């Protein structure tokens, strides 16, 4: 949920490994995360200074930097905790669309309260009060949720 940023440039905050990535690769990661246009239009670009903890950036911008880091690391297994919680609906839809393709061939374990994120899953597990409430293919679980929502509002 919380992306840890440190005092330094945006470039340094993206290059967390010993690998120095070129600007094109860093900008591609920011495009994936929805920050590409902002960084390209900023006078300092990738040299934009980030304060410790990302002070001065919105929560959504910090979360987007986390998405760019994930894209750069290219993991085969991802653990995502409320991955779009700080994003507005437009950016959330963009990220979900990009993740739909990016997650192919990867395993993702996603903890979320956001229904749009469930579109990324093949199997969905719902826990209530620490107990398994529903487990099954995404479409079956979504149908179960819709049925229960209709009962609750009737």
In the chain, alpha helices (H): 10-14, 23-33, 36-41, 59-73, 89-102, 115-118, 138-153
Using alpha carbons only, give the angle 89, 113, 99 rounded to the nearest 5 degrees.
55
Helix (H) or strand (E) holding 137: strand 131-137
Selection from 153, 127, 121 nearest residue 140 by Cα = 121
**pLDDT interval class at 154 (50, 70, 90):** low
Domains and CATH numbers, the chain: 8-121 (3.40.50.300)
Residue-wise pLDDT for 51-102, tens only, equals: 999 998 988 899 999 999 999 999 999 999 988 888 889 989 988 999 999 9
Question: Whole-model pTM?
Answer: 0.80
């Amino acid at each position: 949920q919380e992306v840890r940023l440190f005092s330094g440039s945006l470039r340094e905050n993206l290059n967390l490994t010993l690998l120095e990535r070129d600007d094109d690769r860093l900008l591609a990661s920011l495009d994936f995360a929805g920050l590409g246009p902002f960084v390209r239009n900023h006078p300092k670009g990738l040299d934009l200074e980030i304060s410790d903890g990302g002070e001065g950036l919105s929560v959504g911008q910090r979360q987007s930097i986390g998405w760019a880091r994930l894209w750069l690391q290219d993991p085969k297994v991802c653990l995502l905790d409320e991955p779009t919680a700080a994003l507005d609906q437009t950016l959330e839809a963009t990220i979900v669309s990009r993740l739909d393709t990016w997650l192919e061939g990867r395993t993702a374990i996603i903890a979320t309260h956001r229904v749009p994120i469930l579109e990324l899953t093949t199997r969905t597990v719902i826990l209530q009060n620490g107990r398994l409430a529903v487990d099954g293919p995404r479409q079956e679980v979504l149908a179960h949720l819709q049925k229960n929502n209709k009962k609750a509002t009737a």
